[in-house]
Each structure stands twice: as structure tokens, then as C-alpha cells.
Chains A and B, each alone.
Chain A
Amino acid sequence: MSSESADAIKPPDPIRAVPVRHWGRWVSAALVLALVAWLVEAAISAHFIDFAVVRRYQFSSLILKGLQATVVLAVLAQITGIALGVVFAVMRLSKNPVMSAVSSFYIWFFRGTPVLVQLFFWYNGIPQVFHTLTIAIPFTHLTLYTTPMTSFMTAFMAAFLGLALNEGAYMAEIVRAGIISVDEGQVEAASALGMRSALTLRRIVLPQAMRVIIPPTGNEFISLLKTTSLASTITYGELLRRAGDIYSTNLEVVPLLIVASIWYLVLTSIASIGQYYIERRFARGRMRSTAETPLQRVRAVMRQRPRL
């Protein structure tokens, strides 16, 4: 009797099972490696890519200037787009029918026309229709500021206005989806505490909507980083335009397109990493414990390695 109960207390041996072998993974890895090797070999032997040229231009001052112009344009357009998006999302959800209609029209128009056409409108169209830009007090003859439209609507200004207004329309829908996703009970609880709608929006609804807003906003920014290349068509000196300037004189088209592509990849990769960490920040309070970052996971694996 006593020996039996002692047996019951002793835990059973841990399971040491032979893991399932994933032969398929090894086979597919081998196939992929072979394919990549073949492509690289073909590219090199055909002198498709002249890496010396790529290396020479990757950090050249013209390209870096273009890179800077791309980043400035994308960041400004995105920030403005987010601000416009919040404003138009709130208007769209407003009980005021005028506000809601104005917002619907804005979203319909800017989402419904190609951004390239919008850029042409700002850069080529507006200066043709309005020859001067004048800031004046309506119904008087007082003029505060006036300038020829062509000196106001620079390539940068047109690119910024075009991309920001277009981005604002997409962000409005993203922000609206985020606001709608927040539980109604949250607004009720805030109202019951005497909080008014603007305060409730700022302190209670938007911070919670962020969890839904950020992932698509990250996608928007990554997409916008690449869409800035359209501004090359209206003479804005961003990355692609600079690369084009160079290859139109030295005819090294492919290496310079690769130079530009590498920079786009670098920018979008940085944006993805940033997005990951911002998402974690706003997941706060949603999960019982936050998941490890990839970096922490790598460190954990490194610590375990010697034991295997």
C-alpha cells in the first residue's frame, strides 16, 4: 500500500520522442538554392549587372540627394495624410450631414482618380488655370500676398500636395475603420464620467483605434515610399529622377536602376522594422504579456545553443 502511493507521487519519465522528419523542407530548400544559383550565374556570365558601376553610384552625391528628397517627400506626405485622414474620418462619422457629405466627396474624388493624374493636375494644370496665387481679404481690395503660380507650385509643392491629399483619402478610410472598431461601451463609459466627445476621441477612442490603424498605415507608408517615384515625371529630383539623370548621360541603365532599387528596399525595410515596434507599443494592455521581439528571440536561441 505504502509503496504504491510512493509510486504515484513519482512523476512519469519525460517523453523523448523521435521528431517527425520534414523531408519536404530539405527537398524544397535544395531546389530553391539551385534555382537561385543558376539565375545568379546566368546574370553574371551575361554581364547583365555591372556591379562595379552599381558600387560606384550607390553612394554618389547625386543619388544621396535623390534619396533625401524621396524620404522628405514621403515623410511629409504621410504625416499630412494622417492628419487629413483623422480630420476626414471624424467628419465622415459626424452627425452633421454637411461634414459627412464633404468628407465622402473628398474620399470619393481622391481615391477614384489616379495619383499620377493628380500630380499632373497640380503641376501642369493649376498654373495654367490660375496664373497668380493671391491671399487677400474677401470682398475688399486688400491683398496680403501675391506671387506667380509657377513660383509657388514648384515640383516639390505639386508632388507634396498631390501625394498628401491622395494619402489623406486613404488614411481617412483607415482611421474610420479604426474608430468603428472600438467598443461602444468605451464611449459610454467616458460619457458617464462626464467626458465630452472631443476629449473622448482623443483620450479613449483614438488610442484604442491605433491598434487597428497602424498595420495598414505601415503598408501605406511603404507604398508611399515607392509612389514618390511618380514625382520624377513632374521633374521633382527624387531617387528615380536622379538615377535617370545619370543613366541618360552614361547609358548604364540597369546598374542605376539597381542602385535605386537597393535604396527603395533599404527604405521599405527600415519602415517595416519601425512598424513592428510601433505595433508592439500600441498593443500594450491588450495582451497579458507582450511577445518577444525577433532580436530577443535570436538572443534566446544563442543562449540555448551550447546545450544542444
Chain B
Amino acid sequence: MTAMVKAESVHKRFGRLEVLRGIDLEVAPGKVLVIIGPSGSGKSTFLRCINHLEKINAGRLWVDGELVGYRESGNKIYELHARDVARKRAEIGMVFQHFNLFPHMTALENVIEAPTHVKKTPRPVAIEAGLALLERVGLSDKRDAYPAQLSGGQQQRVAIARALAMDPKLMLFDEPTSALDPELVGEVLDAMRVLAREGMSMIVVTHEMGFAREVGDHLVFLDEGLIVEQGSPREILSAPRKLRTQEFLSKVL
């Protein structure tokens, strides 16, 4: 079976700063990978490489068996046209730390924007699907609310519905609860839990260790652009083998 995501020695530099220094990992379809690590460890950058919001400098990165951002033929590698990059991004949902909802659109308009304008789904069909998604995240009564009228937790749930509206085969979560008040974290994690149970392939960058332990199939601890330790979340979180992992966990747990 092809891996949903496969990384082989992925490197990323910002100018002189080496953010990723050789990441190797694999996520099987339907599985949840959790990435933890201190800030500046490169975990968000790695996530953004997966849908080509950042270009990698070396190594190879595949999503569902296809190279991200490039096409390889013979021993040459070609940059993909913006059109093809966009088409591939449309198959990957992304949820951001600061939600990034479109503030000039209502919750429902946010959800149907990409289906109607990228996929050209007829509006009535998109609205029906959008309402079903809003109901799934428990917000059917907020369809006409603007983001500014919603709490952080509600905004993030709309953002999840918006990503799901494109019917993605993979979902990327970039610290989805880090900008939320503590009492609002639960509702967002619940929505993600349901998604994982339904068999969505997910990569989650988070500081929520409880969620990682409960929902994650695999856990990666990243530090200074390298994978320090990886394995089952239960094992790593309760009995980390590396000193660096122990240090980090003693601070966040």
C-alpha cells in the first residue's frame, strides 16, 4: 500500500538557517501522526512543506505516491506549474493556529468558497454539503455568523469544516488549539477525534499530550530540524528513551 505521506531526508533552509536537516518518516493511509517538539524545532515548517506552502531544498517528499511540488522524469526534476500545485493542494486540508477564516464571509460562505470556486460545485449542492459539515462540527446555528462574532473554538471548528469541504485525503493541523482559551480546547479536539475515528489520514502538530496519547497512531519528537525519537505515543510519552525528549516532556507535561 502506498504511504499517504513519505519523507526522505527532507531539508529546508531559510537563508542560512537550516530549519529541517533530514526528516525521514512515513504515514500510512487512515493513520494519525502527531508531531511534538519545542518552538523553532521545524514542526510547522515540515507541515507546510507537505502542501508545498514551503519549497524543500533537498530530499524527497511524496503525498499519496506523488512528489510534492515537482515532477521527476529520467533523472531530471521539474518544478510543477502553479495550476498543478493548486490542484494538489486542493486534496490536502489544512487547519491553522490562528484559524485564518475569511473575515468578510459568514461561516457558511467560508465553507462553500473553495468548493464553488475551485471545484465548481453548483452552489445549491455546495450549500447542502456545507450545512452538513457545519452540523458535523456542531455549528449549524452559526451558518450566518461572521468570524468576528464567533469564539475561538467555534472559529477553529468552522476552519475544520472549511478544510473538509474540499473532501481531502489528508488533513494537516498546525497547532490547532494553541491560540485558544483553555476551556475552548476540548471542543476542537473533539471534532478532530471524530475525524480520526472516521479514518481520516492526519498529521497533527500539537502541544496537547493527552490528545497525542489518545488519538495518535505514531508520534515524532522533533528538535532542531531532526527527529530525535519516534514510536507509539504511549511509549514515548510515558517512557522516553532520549535525554532530550525527557527534558522536553518534563517541561510540558
Contact = CB atoms under 8 A, between A and B. Distances in A.
Contacts of A185: 96, 98, 100
A183 B94 CA distance: 17
Nearest to B105: A285
B36 to A, nearest CB: 22
Contacts of A288: 148-149
A196 B93 CA distance: 15
A188 B53 CA distance: 8
Contacts of A183: 100
A193 B114 contact: yes
B92 A203 contact: no
A204 B113 CA distance: 10
A285 B145 CA distance: 8
Contact of A194 (B100, B118, B147): B118
A301 to B, nearest CB: 28
Interface in A148-195: 183, 185-186, 188-195
B94 A285 contact: no
Contact of B117 (A203, A286, A287): A203
A240 B147 CA distance: 49
B104 A285 contact: yes
Interface string A57-101: 000000000000000000000000000000000000000000000
B102 interface: yes
B5 interface: no
Given A194-B87, A194-B166, A196-B82, A189 B102 contact: yes
A279 to B, nearest CB: 14
A287 B148 contact: yes
Given A195-B114, A288-B148, A189 B90 contact: no
B204 interface: no
B179 to A, nearest CB: 11
B86 interface: yes
A194 B89 contact: yes
A286 B148 CA distance: 6
Residue in B53, B117, B149 whose Cβ sees the most chain A Cβ within 10 Å: B117
Residue in A190, A285, A286, A287 whose Cβ sees the most chain B Cβ within 10 Å: A285
Given A197-B82, A285-B146, A288-B149, A192 B104 contact: no
Interface string A195-229: 11101000110011000000000000000000000
A284 interface: yes
Interface string B131-164: 0000000000000001111000000000000110
Given A190-B102, A284-B104, A285-B105, 20 more contacts: A189-B94, A189-B102, A191-B53, A191-B86, A191-B89, A192-B53, A192-B94, A192-B163, A193-B89, A194-B86, A199-B118, A203-B117, A204-B102, A207-B104, A208-B102, A208-B104, A282-B104, A285-B104, A285-B146, A286-B103
Interface of A: 183, 185-186, 188-197, 199, 203-204, 207-208, 282, 284-288
21 contacts: A185-B98, A189-B94, A189-B96, A191-B53, A192-B92, A192-B93, A193-B90, A193-B163, A193-B166, A194-B90, A194-B91, A194-B114, A194-B166, A195-B114, A196-B83, A203-B117, A208-B103, A282-B104, A286-B103, A286-B104, A287-B148
